[in-house]
A and B are shown apart, each in its own frame.
Chain A
Amino acid sequence: GAGVSQTPSNKVTEKGKYVELRCDPISGHTALYWYRQSLGQGPEFLIYFQGTGAADDSGLPNDRFFAVRPEGSVSTLKIQRTERGDSAVYLCASSPDRVNEQFFGPGTRLTVL
Chain B
Amino acid sequence: AQSVTQLDSHVSVSEGTPVLLRCNYSSSYSPSLFWYVQHPNKGLQLLLKYTSAATLVKGINGFEAEFKKSETSFHLTKPSAHMSDAAEYFCVVRLERGGNQFYFGTGTSLTVIP
Which A positions have Cβ atoms within 8 angstroms of B?
A: 3-4, 31, 33, 35, 40-45, 48, 50, 55-56, 58-59, 91, 93, 98-99, 101-107
Contact = CB atoms under 8 A, between A and B. Distances in A.
A72 to B, nearest CB: 16
A108 to B, nearest CB: 12
Nearest to A93: B44
B49 A56 contact: no
Contacts of B36: 104
Contacts of B49: 101
B4 to A, nearest CB: 8
Contact of B43 (A40, A44, A48, A105): A105
Given A41-B107, A42-B106, A55 B43 contact: no
A35 B92 CA distance: 13
Given A45-B103, A59-B101, 6 more contacts: A35-B104, A56-B99, A99-B51, A102-B46, A104-B36, A105-B43
Contact of A107 (B34, B43, B45, B51): B43
Contacts of A91: 43-44
Given A42-B90, A91-B44, A107-B43, A102 B100 contact: no
Would you call the interface of chain B mostly helix, strand, loop, or mixed? Answer: strand
Interface string B90-114: 1000100011111111110000000
A41 B106 CA distance: 5
Given A42-B106, A107-B43, A48 B99 contact: yes
A65 B104 CA distance: 21
A48 B46 contact: no
A42 B107 contact: yes
B69 to A, nearest CB: 19
Among B49, B90, B100, residue most surrounded by chain A Cβ atoms (within 10 Å): B100
Nearest to B9: A40
- Which of B34, B46, B101, B106 has most A Cβ within 10 Å? B101
Nearest to A106: B43
A31 to B, nearest CB: 7
